[in-house]
Amino acid sequence: MPVQNKKVLLTALVATLITLQGCETEEKATEAAKRNGQPADIFLANIAALCGKAFSGRIVANEPRTDQPDSFEGKALVMHVRGCEEPARQLRIPFHVGDDHSRTWVLTRTDNGLRLKHDHRHEDGSEDAVTMYGGETSDPGSSTRQEFPVDAESIALFQRQGLGASVENTWAMEIHPGEMFAYELTRPSGRRFRVEFDLTEESDLPPPPWGS
């Protein structure tokens, strides 16, 4: 075989291997996490397996009921797992509420567990006055559920913004592969908000979140 043809063939083989490696990265990350056996790693890897996909949700709890208008009622709720450049360390999950694309959940692997932050933006991409609040796990949790008690930085933010009720927030996420993903907010006062997303059927991809 001529030298030139050999070079062309080698180049094609290298390109093919790179493509295959890219396709397998996500699967390998998931398998590595499962071998590692850490609940936080398995939890994060199971969500990372949804990268590039979107799913519709519904509110299953919003207590206590009030006379105030519900900003979620009657709106299409969609989660979109994206921002997966480093699936082993961080995921960005926009939460779309109708035409409101201001919310993104940022889930990060830390040395001790997981951190959840809420990135809130205005339509022009600028940060909301109440943004990047959340908390970190205080125990190993499980491969299907992780809880995030409010952190000191967020408490200070809530106090500055006059959101006293939020200083006792605990957020939670659940992932049951192939079945359901859930986001939850609770307070000792009895406040409970929970939205569940159906993982059995993909939704059309929403537009990018504001500020992306």
pLDDT in tens, 19-68: 334 434 445 545 555 555 699 999 999 999 999 999 999 999 999 987 77
Q: Give the rounded distance of the alpha carbon of 192 from its chain centre.
A: 19
Neighbours of 72 (CB within 10 A): 15
Neighbours of 198 (CB within 10 A): 14
Q: From CA 130, how far away is CA 5, in angstroms rounded?
A: 60
Evaluate if residue 2 carries a pLDDT over 90: no
Provide the H-helix boundaries in the chain.
Answer: 3-36, 39-48, 152-160
3-state secondary structure of 150: strand
Evaluate if residue 192 carries a pLDDT over 90: yes
Mean pLDDT lowest among 22-31, 142-151, 154-163, 201-210: 22-31
Largest Cα separation within the chain, whole Å, is 80
- pTM of the entire structure? 0.82
Residue-wise pLDDT tens digits, 75-100: 999 999 998 866 568 999 999 999 99
Burial of 212 (0-12, 13-18, 19+ CB in 10 A): middle
Q: pLDDT grade, residue 167 (50/70/90)?
A: very high
Neighbours of 50 (CB within 10 A): 23
pLDDT on residue 86: 63
Residue-wise pLDDT tens digits, 97-119: 999 999 999 999 999 999 999 99
Evaluate if residue 186 carries a pLDDT over 80: yes
Q: pLDDT grade, residue 133 (50/70/90)?
A: very high
Domains and CATH numbers, the chain: 38-198 (2.40.128)
* φ/ψ of residue 83, rounded to 5: 65, 45
